[in-house]
Amino acid sequence: MIQWISSGLSWFFDLIVTYSNSYGIAIILLTILIRLLLLPLTIKQTKSLAAMKEIQPQLEEIQKKYKDNPQEMQARSMELYQEYKVNPLGGCFPMLVQLPILWAFIYVLRDLPESGAAQFLLWDLTVKDTTFILPILAMVTQYFNVKQTSADASQNSMALIMPIMIGVFSINLPSGLVLYWVVGNIFSAVQQAWIAKKYPVSSQGGQNK
């Protein structure tokens, strides 16, 4: 499956490089294209996360009230999900779908030309960023993305840990892959703001259509 996706992405990537004569622009445009193709799933994920955030106070009350009775806690939580038509796993599936695309894109970037031929602005896209600009941008943009999608205060630690991990990993990754991550994060931030405006949380939980 990853090989099939990789072949399709590679074809689009080579086509963009042919017309733009820039591997950096090709990465940026292909990243945006991927995000647009995933937009329906992203909307579904965002609506699910927003709905979970809306009912979080009630879930916390249930957890406190029935902390000594796990079965009752589970039953009450499921009743709340059904009342507000919320799928607690609704935010997970779109993220899982993106993983094979990410791996396929890594295969595409592995086929970039030898060092020096894939220059974009300050970076050779085939080697790690010695300026540390891209890893820092990856960390900062990841932080804002996690904060945007956090469903409750208990996830605040994740808003710090995950960006730091991304930043550390990015230091040793090829600049082309980190550029993909940064562009994806920036696009996601704008996309999340647009979705939140277009599909505001209703007063009855869930989202207005």
pLDDT tens digits along 159-174: 678 888 888 888 988 8
* Cβ 144 vs Cβ 160: under 8 Å: no
Most confident of 40-54, 134-148, 191-205: 134-148
**Structural domain spans, the chain:** 2-198
Q: DSSP 3-state assignment of 170?
A: helix
pLDDT per position as a tens digit, 78-103: 888 877 777 666 556 666 777 787 78
| Secondary structure E strands in the chain | 119-120, 123-124
Token digits of residue 72: 């009752």
Question: Worst-scoring range by mean pLDDT, 118-122, 196-200, 203-207?
Answer: 203-207
C-alpha distances in Å from residue 34, one per residue of 5, 13, 148, 192 = 11, 11, 20, 15
- pLDDT at residue 205, as a whole number: 43
DSSP secondary structure, 32-79, as one string: HHHHHHTHHHHHHHHHHHHHHHHHHHHHHHHHHHTTT-HHHHHHHHHH
pTM of the model: 0.73
pLDDT at 137: 94
